Amino acid sequence: MGGKTWDPVWDKVIEQSIPPEMLSSRVPHDVRKFCPRFYTMSDTDKRVFWAYFFQALAGTEAGLNPTSRVRHTEPEVAVVDHVTHRAVRSEGLLQLTYEDATRYGCDFDWTHDRELSVNDPSKSILQPKNNLECGVKILNNQIITQHKSLISRKSYWSTLQPGTVPYRTFAKQMINPPAACEAPVKAPKLTQQTTASVHDAAEGSGESK
């Protein structure tokens, strides 16, 4: 997905950071749009699904580039980051900000990072583990704490807001979920013949000879 390659190690990071409530019936029902069998799968398979979900999210948000940095110019998002006291930049695989460390308890260290060059890949916010674990916390806040749908107009990410261009891109990347997600294929319903119809068919066959 995107221009970079997804590191399988990142799957493990996500799978290990998923809290129990994101494996439960508390997950909103629109998850079935992407994983029809979510509620009946094993916890292991649910963790695999979430890893797939975040891969698609990172593919849409940052093209799977862990050092991606974007400074937005749109008035509604071109605000000051209250941690850095600079214009907000969305950074890393899930395009997060230093403010998220305060809001969601993410492991971003601005005190350390401010001493590094702007594009230094060793910054804490750009570390895939930190970025992905933070993303899990943000999504957990949305769907569990706030009881919002998985796809919501008030999602942190525009990618998960219905009707947006990023959402359409994300949805296309979600068309091949893990096998455990897929609804079982129903066998075609056979027309049941009655004894009378079988008898009539046999008589007709005999008359044609």
Q: 130 near 105, Cβ under 8 Å?
A: no
Query: Residue 149: inside a domain, yes or no?
Result: yes
Return the number of other C-beta atoms located less than 10 Å from residue 188's C-beta.
6
- The answer to whether position 91 is within a domain reads yes
Task: Tell whether 124 is covered by a domain.
Answer: yes
pLDDT given for residue 30 in this prediction: 97
- Indicate whether this model's pTM tops 0.85: no
At 206, give phi and psi (nearest 5°): -70, -40
For residue 30, give the amino acid letter.
D
Whether residue 3 lies inside any domain: the answer is: no
- Structural domain count, the chain: 1
3-class secondary-structure state, position 70: strand
Domain hosting residue 189, numbered range: 8-207
**Predicted local distance difference test score (pLDDT) of residue 74:** 64
Instruction: Give the pLDDT of residue 85.
Output: 62
∠ CA 8-11-17, nearest 5°, is 150
| Position 17 in a domain | yes
Question: Quick check: is 1 in a domain?
Answer: no
- The answer to whether residue 99 is domain-embedded is yes
Tens digit of each residue's pLDDT, the chain (209 residues) = 445 899 999 999 999 999 999 999 999 999 999 999 999 999 999 999 999 999 999 999 999 999 999 876 665 666 777 776 677 789 999 999 999 999 999 999 999 999 998 889 999 999 999 999 999 999 999 999 999 999 999 999 999 999 999 999 999 999 999 999 997 655 555 555 444 544 554 455 454 44
Q: Rg of the chain over CA atoms, in angstroms?
A: 24
65: tokens are 């580039």
Q: How far is CA 195 from CA 93, 201, 207, in A?
A: 65, 10, 19
